[in-house]
Amino acid sequence: MEEVCHASMPTLVIFSAEWCGYCTKLEEHTLTDPAVKERLRGYAVEIVDVDKNRGLARAAGVHALPTAFILTRACVTKSRTEGYQTPEEFLKWLDEAEKP
């Protein structure tokens, strides 16, 4: 996933689609939550449309939407999650992903 990775900071990559209701909910509800927005200040955030990037989605092993990855600065997958998450669930996932 080097195409979407940022070497200067960790990267949150979310595979999404316009037709995906849970993807829209994640983008409009979870990612706009003030606590989530604050927490993501240290991340580059990339939203990848699977309909326009099928090869990248296939290479990443995306089988469900939304699927989110946290990539290290070295573009290595540190954590992955699938499905919609509330802001609280998303923050908990970030907590787990940031553990050494």
CA angle 43, 74, 36 (to 5 degrees): 15
Tell me the Ramachandran region of residue 98: left when phi exceeds 0, alpha when psi lies from -120 to 50, beta otherwise.
alpha
State pLDDT tens for residues 2-44.
Answer: 888 888 899 999 999 999 999 999 999 999 999 999 999 999 9
The half-sphere exposure of 90 on its side-chain side, counting CA atoms within 13 A, is 27
Contact yes or no for 36/90 (Cβ under 8 A): yes
Average pLDDT of the chain is: 95
Give the architecture (CATH level 2) of 11-83: 3-Layer(aba) Sandwich (3.40)
**Considering the entire predicted model, what is its pTM?**
0.93
Which pLDDT belongs to residue 7? Answer: 86
Domain ranges of the chain: 11-83
Which pLDDT belongs to residue 100? Answer: 78
Which two structure tokens, joined as six digits, stand for 5? 């990775």
Place of tokens 């990248």: 56
Contact yes or no for 16/66 (Cβ under 8 A): yes
